[in-house]
Structure 1
Amino acid sequence: MATLLMVEGWLRSTGLCLPPLIRERGHRYVLFTQDPALYPAAHSGEPHPVIDRADEIVRVDTNDLDAVTAAALDLAERLPIDGVLTTCDYYLETAAVIAARLGLPGAPPEVMHRATRKHLVRSAISEAGLANPAFAVAACWESSLAAAATIGYPLVAKPVDLNAGTSVQRVDDEAGLKDAFWEITGVERNTRGQPLSRLLLLEELIEGPEFSVEAVTRGGETTVIGITDKSITGPPAFVESGHMFPARLTPAAAVTIEEFTRDALAAIGYTHGLSHTELRLTPDGPRIIEINPRQAGGYIFDLVRLVTGSHPLELLVDLSLGKAPQIGSERATATSAAVFFVMSPRPGTVIGVDGAAALDADADVVRWHLPTPATAGYPRSNDAYLGHVLAVDATGGAARERAEAAVGSLRLRFADGSTATPIGLPG
């Protein structure tokens, strides 16, 4: 049995699934958190798994690198620590620093610092000579105007250090640029209380279907597990409405995407860890949207497990323990798998979901989660999900259509008596 140090965790998706997996593997973990109340109980009253499955909880200011590192060194004096991990983007660099101080496996801290800042990733890709959209970083309104004039509208505006697609948006003109500038630079801290850079990243808008590459890197060697097909909604934002694994691609296109992803990871110096690289396949070839130096969220890890037999969260645990990841070590149960997210077309309180009970009778639906009551709003980021439906195709590549059909059969029922079809469905 190994003892892991978990530095905070994600609230949903991977944060819900990793704690029981650690226990099922026969390991235990100590949780470092600034506040256990960050992890809310389920509607049923069941404690959040991050809290419930922890062998020990240590309260420490996880946003203070010196304090959390000192706490880790103190912990290691009384309890052998075998690995350090996190499922939360905002603590990836912290986990890397702690692992390095304890002499445990992990990404070099300076690499994780670069990989978690979008503008530094863009610069590294350009410096490596890889194809890259035009981009600029702005700290003031005047430099934003000048950068937009150089790049040209339409363009994409992003914060450099937020996640889940927060505040990422298409900008078509100066008025939209002003809105994006103040939205992005006006926020001082992220949802975990960490100070933000308050920089605006402007990028050339790139067109083409969107994919993500799920990979694992150890000792500088990157193995691609597979490519995910992604669907986007919520303009002018870029909200992920669904994923299917594996993506429908020609063998030649898949090879091109995989090779470009390996080159991009090498460009940022990535030598250890899981990665979830988002890109678009343009007429001129692949172009990186973002590199995420972690496992995929949005239940993509479940899709990968169903189709390949490899569980990315198990690979995360193995990597943290210095073990070679075993890809495809379990039997696959589907040829394709897809998740589609339930989002509301308008604000309001959703008190029920008509049609949800019928999902249990759908042989293609592996799992669905639609807790109510829920507060809904027009989606501006991936945090707008009210729930999800996960479906499979045991023998073919139609899992996406099956997940979409399942969500299309639902009606959101609001407290004011109205109903609505979830947003983001095709057609």
Structure 2
Amino acid sequence: MQTIVFIGSNKSGTSRDALNISTTMGYYTVLLTNRSEFIKQEEEFPEVARMLYVENLLDEENILKIIKGLEAENNQICAVISFIDPFVSYAARISAAIGLYPLSTEALAIIEQKSQFRECLKALPVSPKFTLFNRKQSIPQCVEEYQQHLPLILKSSVSNGSKDVLLVKTALEFIEGLDFLSKKFPSIPILIEEYLIGIQYLIEVIVKEGQISLVAIIEQEILSGERFIITGYSLPAIMEEVTMRELQIAVTSIIQALRLVNGTCHLEMRLVDGEWKLIEINPRMSGGAMNRIIQEGTGINLVKETLKLFLGDEPNLAATKRNYVYAKFLTINARGRLMKVIGKNRAAAYEGVKEVFVKPRRGAILTKPYSLGDRYAYVIAIADTPEQAKEIALTASKEIKFYLEPL
């Protein structure tokens, strides 16, 4: 049987989409997971032909042993893939070890480490000013040296999904932020970056044999506050032609500097005083509802085309439709135990609404947003104009209400 092995998955979002699409494409789909609750909920993953619990997914010797066991059962391993951090470059390395389609393993590994990709790209004009707090000096000494540049961004070198990314505006916040991150990540460098003001865009990229394709460019809306929680996505992003060309040049310079020849990534960039600046880059397509957003807007199933890339096939990235899409994500401002959610069906009934998704189950503990994982529902809408799509999504999302038991 032709088989795809997935290392890790979330219950929903892009990584779960990949499991479904793998099976739809006719592959025997194997999921290796370190989440014991998934094993107990195995019946909720009907698209997975085989689910195996692996306590340490980064135990390469054990993963290779499992793969050999699958091969002994007449499974032809066609790809080993991960859509979630921190397993992307790791899966690519395992693929290379067993002779599968060669991905740019070193480039993907650099992208996974924020301090490494910042160092790699520091000579490019897209790079913001940054430094590393590596504990050779004390926190007060570091704050004294850099406080004149406030406000600043602090982040762990291994953060993802907006986790452990802090905006500090005062010397006190600077001290508290460094102290918090240093205690949470005692052996990992802390990045200190300049705070850039401008509209932020997400760019989905596929690279095949050095050919760079910007599949989707999406404007993001960010919840105001110390954390950078994205609550709105608008596809396609509207910008002048010259600005678009400059973005393509900027993205190309980044991909080439990283020597990414075969692989995928998504970038978050801001247009700052007419110049493109790189905020983040991750070695995979964006999570959450991104596949559905892109598919509704362009007709491209980016997860499917990503799987084809990893299988060594040619991705088909030609758009078959052009819709304006807006996705509204919902957060809450309190902490409590979820009692019930109402309004999902009413939201779905609005003309133009394509999907309504509510993530948490009854009894789950919900909090105000600290990362992208703390977004609890979304509404995706399409229309003939970006303004109409946004209005539909926002209006429909107001129907959804969470009832919490305070803790």
TM-score by length of 2: 0.91
Give distance in 1, aligned partners of 2:361 and 2:13.
18
Give distance in 2, aligned partners of 1:130 and 1:66.
41
2:327 is matched with 339
Give the deviation of 1:210 after TM superposition: 0.4
**What are the within-5 Å matches in structure 2 for residues 16-415 of structure 1?**
16-38=16-38, 41=41, 47-49=43-45, 52-60=46-54, 61-78=56-73, 79-127=75-123, 129-140=124-135, 142=137, 144-148=139-143, 149-150=145-146, 152-187=149-184, 197-328=187-318, 331-332=320-321, 335-370=323-358, 371-373=360-362, 374-393=364-383, 395-398=384-387, 399-415=389-405
Contact between 2:355 and 2:380, CA under 8 Å: does it hold in 1? yes
Identify unmatched segments of 5+ residues in structure 2.
none
Give distance in 1, aligned partners of 2:110 and 2:309.
20
Matched letter for residue 29 of structure 1: T
Point out the more displaced range, 219-228 or 149-158. Answer: 149-158
Matched letter for residue 83 of structure 2: T
Cα distance 1:141–1:12, how it changes in 2: closer, same or farther (>3 A)? farther
Give the deviation of 1:117 after TM superposition: 0.6
Give the deviation of 1:134 after TM superposition: 1.0
Give distance in 2, aligned partners of 1:343 and 1:116.
27
Give the deviation of 1:145 after TM superposition: 4.8
Cα distance 1:145–1:73, how it changes in 2: closer, same or farther (>3 A)? farther
The two structures, once aligned, show a CA RMSD in angstroms of 2.3
Point out the more displaced range, 306-315 or 150-159. Answer: 150-159
Give the deviation of 1:32 after TM superposition: 2.2
Matched letter for residue 96 of structure 2: A
Give distance in 2, aligned partners of 1:155 and 1:357.
42
Matched letter for residue 380 of structure 1: Y
Give distance in 1, aligned partners of 2:269 and 2:287.
16
Give distance in 2, aligned partners of 1:256 and 1:318.
29
Whether 1:5 and 2:2 are equivalent positions in the alignment is: no
Matched letter for residue 259 of structure 2: G
Cα distance 1:38–1:161, how it changes in 2: closer, same or farther (>3 A)? farther
| 3-state SS, counterpart of residue 212 of structure 1 | strand
Give distance in 1, aligned partners of 2:34 and 2:402.
36
Contact between 1:217 and 1:270, CA under 8 Å: does it hold in 2? yes
What are the superposed Cα offsets for residues 297-340 of structure 1, whole Å, 9 maximum, x if unpaired?
131221111111111100111011100100126x43x5111211
1:421 is matched with none
Matched letter for residue 168 of structure 2: V
Matched letter for residue 381 of structure 2: A
Contact between 2:115 and 2:189, CA under 8 Å: does it hold in 1? no
Give the deviation of 1:74 after TM superposition: 4.6
Give distance in 1, aligned partners of 2:292 and 2:258.
27
Give distance in 2, aligned partners of 1:48 and 1:339.
26
Contact between 1:39 and 1:48, CA under 8 Å: does it hold in 2? no
| 3-state SS, counterpart of residue 162 of structure 1 | coil
Give distance in 1, aligned partners of 2:53 and 2:36.
8
Identify unmatched segments of 5+ residues in structure 1.
189-195, 417-427
| 3-state SS, counterpart of residue 179 of structure 1 | helix
Cα distance 1:356–1:5, how it changes in 2: closer, same or farther (>3 A)? closer
Give distance in 2, aligned partners of 1:166 and 1:241.
15
What are the superposed Cα offsets for residues 16-60 of structure 1, whole Å, 9 maximum, x if unpaired?
32211111111222222334425774xxxx8443xx322223443
Give distance in 2, aligned partners of 1:74 and 1:108.
26
Point out the more displaced range, 339-348 or 32-41. Answer: 32-41
What are the superposed Cα offsets for residues 107-161 of structure 1, whole Å, 9 maximum, x if unpaired?
232222111011111111114x333111111132835555553471100011111
| 3-state SS, counterpart of residue 183 of structure 1 | helix
Matched letter for residue 123 of structure 1: E
Give distance in 1, aligned partners of 2:28 and 2:331.
35
Point out the more displaced range, 19-28 or 58-67. Answer: 58-67
| 3-state SS, counterpart of residue 314 of structure 2 | coil
Between the two proteins, the alignment pairs up a number of residues equal to 399
Contact between 2:348 and 2:396, CA under 8 Å: does it hold in 1? no
Contact between 2:347 and 2:397, CA under 8 Å: does it hold in 1? no
| 3-state SS, counterpart of residue 373 of structure 2 | helix
Point out the more displaced range, 129-138 or 32-41. Answer: 32-41
| 3-state SS, counterpart of residue 97 of structure 1 | helix
Give distance in 2, aligned partners of 1:280 and 1:40.
43
Matched letter for residue 338 of structure 1: Y
